[in-house]
Amino acid sequence: MAATDRDELLRLVICGSVDDGKSTLLGRLLHDAGVLPEDQLATLARDSARQHPNAPGQLDFALLTDGLAAEREQGITIDVAYRYFHTARRTFIVADCPGHEQYTRNMATGASTASLAVVLVDARKGLIAQTRRHSYICALLGIGQVILAVNKMDLVGFDPTVFEDIRRAYQALADELGIARVVAIPVVATDGDHVQTPSSRMPWHTGPTLLQAMEEAPIPQPADGDFRLPIQLVVRPHQDYRGYAGTVEAGCVQVGDTVLVQPGQTVARVATLHVAGEPADTAHRGQAVMLTLDPEVQAGRGQVLASADAPCPVASQFACQLLWMGDEPMLPGRAYNLLQGTGRVRARITAIKHKVDVHTQAPLAARRLELNEVGACNLDLDQDIAFEPYTTNAAMGGFVLVDLHSHATVAWGRLDFALRRSANIHWQHLDIDKAVRSHAKAQKPLCVWFTGLSGSGKSTIANLVEQRLTTLGHHTYLLDGDNVRHGLNNDLGFTAEARVENIRRLAEVAHLMVDAGLVVLVCAISPFTAEREFARGRFESGEFVEVYVDAPLAECEQRDPKGLYRKARAGLLANFTGIDSPYEPPANAEIHLLTAGSPPQRQAEQLAGWLVKRIVP
């Protein structure tokens, strides 16, 4: 049972539906492999006796793996549990995954590091919806091999035809999903048949036992590929050392090699190299390195050092597949942060091409993605990234999306290919540009974005500010969210999707006006951080000022200049911000106006004075 320091490591995920016997199988596996410590066995025996007073002496292996109080109370697995053991041949990390659909994101967490999936089915039930969903997610994540454990064979009389039917059905599913290798094994988890030792009750199974299959499964060796090093951080202890730290995600590198800093055109030679803290000449895939470049160049986190002979493709628009994991639905047009490699960029889903019924693989039309749904989407980033398709290199083609307000991880996705659209629609070059126009107006263009609850005083203050700026000779325009809804946006309602689109159009119009050299004042409740951040992202730095007009909800409701709060309270107006739709207060607004207790004239005066300094060239 002695593994050595030089063992190979296999990471696998076990998935199955509730009551299929997953925990029992895993417990049985650990027990038969002889890796359960005596005190854990004693605890297990005690817990088993307490839970099952009518089955003295029997071990309930499920009690071994459910580690959270809520899990034991509800008798279900909520989150993935990791188990570690080794045999004479291998070290294993097993991710034990929850079966319920509502915990798919936890299942995906467990599957994301695995290179093998053990899929469990109940011989009496055969393939069920969960089997198909788990297999779909595993295939989406790139797991190319499955051990199909057909459990509870004792309840179907050890019948080989039952097993064979299930095996054949699963093979068909695997073929559709692109899972290349399936090993099917009939087992009885409670008794250990074909778990570690071959079963005399099913001599017709001539293939491996579960443990053998785990020991024999090929460990995928990704094609070595061309050198890729996403920069994690730049280490500068003193003037004479500038080290780039990161993990090699493909290929290898030697001192003296020429690398390209991507995105970008800068090339440099690798001057020195450290691997896991020690000086080295060469570094390979999977190693944590620190290197210096000659000449010293400007490069930073999020950029990639790549083989200069064979660099990464670079793009900002992609076809991708998305597994949505947020409690709030995904809305096309909304801004998110995208993490890929070591980079973080602003991203929007521009289109949902279709969502996927993960049970049948059928494409379905969709306007949004809900929790645990998978969809094929188009993705638009606000800057180029160096990448590789997920199937070529998972580390360079996998990404997650992060909500701008809650900071939660709301999606996992894979980049499939770059869209050439951006390359085909050319930007018409104009001889008169923003600088020329703003020079003619003798002002620096600016977008001032007023956000706040209805009735907080946005329009009042913006009106006064505009009067003041015009008096001073500036060319302004007040873009009021309500007014724009009478024209440009008269096709939009108040659903979450429509609100996102409303703000997108306001931001684009404001952007055109700033390009025309104007000072634009935008008044819109704009309740969501994501949309305000999207608007900000459309402008150059210094051209966008966010003004948070902050009045307590009770105060706004009491003012109620348009009678809208009364209607909302009466249930006549759905999705009203502050009542039944949230307002996410800005965390980084340039200006925070507390309107209660101070006359709007004074506030407008002060704000105008501050803005003038930004506008006067």
Partner 1 sequence: MHCYHGTDPKHGAMTVSHLDTLEAEAIHVIREVAAGFGKPVMLYSIGKDSSVLLHLLRKAFAPAPPPIPLLHVDTTWKFRQMYALRERVAAAPDITLLVHINQDALAQGISPLVHGPTIHTELMKTVALRQALDQHGFDAAIGGARRDEEPSRAKERVFSFRNAQHRWDPKAQRPELGHLYNTSLATGETVRVFPLSNWTELDIWRYIRREGIEVVPLYFAAEREVIQRDGAWLVIDDERLVPRPGEGVQRRRVRFRTLGCYPLTGAIESDATTIDALIDELVHARTSERQGRMIDRDPGASMERKKQEGYF
Ligand X SMILES: Nc1nc2c(ncn2[C@@H]2O[C@H](COP(=O)(O)OP(=O)(O)O)[C@@H](O)[C@H]2O)c(=O)[nH]1
State the catalytic residues: 526
8 binds, among ligand X, partner 1, none (CB under 5 to 8 A by kind): partner 1
Near ligand X in 434-493, by CB under 6 A: 452, 454-460
Ranges within 523-562 binding ligand X (CB under 6 A): 523, 559, 561
Q: Are strands 90-96 and 145-151 parallel, antiparallel or unpaired?
A: unpaired
Residues 6+ apart with CB under 8 A from 75: 66
Q: Does 5 engage in binding with partner 1 (CB under 8 A)?
A: yes
Encoded tokens for 54? 């009518």
How far apart are CB 595 and ligand X at their closest, in Å? 3
**145 near ligand X, rule: CB under 6 A:** no
- 319 within 8 A of 308, measured Cβ to Cβ: no
* Range 263-292, binding partner 1 (CB under 8 A): 274-278, 280-284, 286-288, 290
Please list every residue from 112 through 141 that binds partner 1, using CB under 8 A: 112-113
Q: Which among ligand X, partner 1, none contacts residue 456 (Cβ within 5 to 8 A by kind)? A: ligand X
Name 161's Cβ contacts closer than 8 Å, sequence gap at least 6: none
Query: Stretches 76-84, 195-203, 356-364, 415-423: which one binds partner 1 (CB under 8 A)?
Result: 76-84
567 binds ligand X (CB under 6 A): no
Task: Pick one of ligand X, partner 1, none as the site partner of residue 603 (Cβ within 5 to 8 A by kind).
Answer: ligand X
227 binds partner 1 (CB under 8 A): yes
Query: Any idea how long the chain is?
Result: 617
Per-residue tokens: 361: 């693989």
- Backbone angles phi and psi of 459, in degrees to 5: -65, -40
Tokens of 433: 């540009």
* Site membership for partner 1, residue 553 (CB under 8 A): no
Note whether 307 binds partner 1 by CB under 8 A: yes
Span 6-25, contacts to partner 1 by CB under 8 A: 6-9
Q: Do 525 and 551 meet the contact criterion of CB atoms below 8 Å apart?
A: no
Closer residue to ligand X, CB minimum distance, 21 or 452: 452
* Token pair for 548: 């948070």
Say whether residue 597 binds partner 1 (CB under 8 A): no
Nearer to partner 1, 237 or 487 (CB): 237
Give yes or no for residue 549 binding partner 1 (CB under 8 A): no
C-alpha distances in Å from residue 261, one per residue of 312, 341, 389, 408: 10, 14, 19, 30
Q: Which is nearer to partner 1, 113 or 391 (CB)?
A: 113
Distances (CA, A) of 75 to 65, 180, 515: 11, 34, 60
CB nearer to partner 1: pick between 111 and 521:
111
Among 168, 367, 407, 421, binds partner 1 (CB under 8 A): 407
409-428 binders of partner 1 (CB under 8 A): 409, 412
375 vs 452, beta carbon nearer ligand X: 452
Name which of 410 and 462 has its Cβ closer to ligand X. 462
Nearest residue (beta carbon) to ligand X:
457
Q: Interface with ligand X includes 251 (CB under 6 A)?
A: no
* Euclidean distance between CA atoms 267 and 403, whole angstroms: 35
> Within positions 577 to 596, which residues make up the interface with ligand X, using CB under 6 A?
595
Stretch that binds partner 1, among 102-110, 456-464, 536-544, 568-576 (CB under 8 A): 102-110
Asked if 40 touches partner 1 (CB under 8 A), the answer is yes
Residues 365, 63: Cα–Cα separation, whole Å: 42
Partner from partner 1, ligand X, none contacting 600, C-beta within 5 to 8 A by type: ligand X
Paired tokens of 572: 């006549």
CA distance 267 to 297: 8
- Helix then strand count (H, E) for the chain reads 18, 28
Dump strand ranges (E) for 152-284.
Answer: 181-186, 228-230, 233-238, 241-247, 252-254, 258-262, 267-275, 278-279, 282-284
- Reported as type and span, the H/E element at residue 321 is strand 314-324
H or E element that contains 463: helix 458-471
Binding positions for ligand X, rule: CB under 6 A:
452, 454-460, 523, 559, 561, 595, 598, 600, 603
